[in-house]
Amino acid sequence: MQGPIDLGDLSGLADGQLRAYPEVGAHGIVVCRVAGELHAVEDNCSHREARLSEGRLRGTLLTCPLHGAQFDVRTGAHQGPPAAVPIAHFDVVEAGGSASVTLDGPAEPRG
């Protein structure tokens, strides 16, 4: 268990936007704003090594820039091939003009 880790003021992050934090966690995280809520997932595709923050966020789905795997940023769940497993999802709390994340998911590097 690690955290909470300060993410700064994300009030300017609009719906459909994302921000990468490469220094947080084993692979970095990407924070996404969806329907007003902040969600954080591991910034590394579960198919191969690729930064999901360089992909596309549409609705709740983050699409990998390499081969197109999609993940639900609310849970980290994968939506089918080529990804075979989910990515880690982390809880984000936003209050008083700042956001923080707690890394209590499976943030260990995958073998």
Q: Is residue 10 within 8 Å of 106, Cβ to Cβ?
A: no
Question: Which region, judged by CB under 6 A, interacts with ligand FES, from 13-21, 66-74, 91-99, 102-110?
Answer: 66-74
Burial of 97 (0-12, 13-18, 19+ CB in 10 A): exposed
- Separation CA 79–CA 101 (nearest Å): 24
Q: Provide the minimum distance between the beta carbon of 63 and ligand FES in the complex, in angstroms, as a whole number.
A: 9
Size of the site for ligand FES (CB under 6 A): 11
Q: Is residue 39 within 8 Å of 59, Cβ to Cβ?
A: no
Q: Is residue 102 within 8 Å of 65, Cβ to Cβ?
A: no
Question: Which region, judged by CB under 6 A, interacts with ligand FES, from 11-19, 40-48, 71-79, 86-94?
Answer: 40-48
Binding to ligand FES, residues 70-109 (CB under 6 A): 82-83
Q: Is 69 in the site for ligand FES (CB under 6 A)?
A: yes
Q: Which residues bind ligand FES (CB under 6 A)?
A: 45, 47-48, 50, 64, 66-69, 82-83
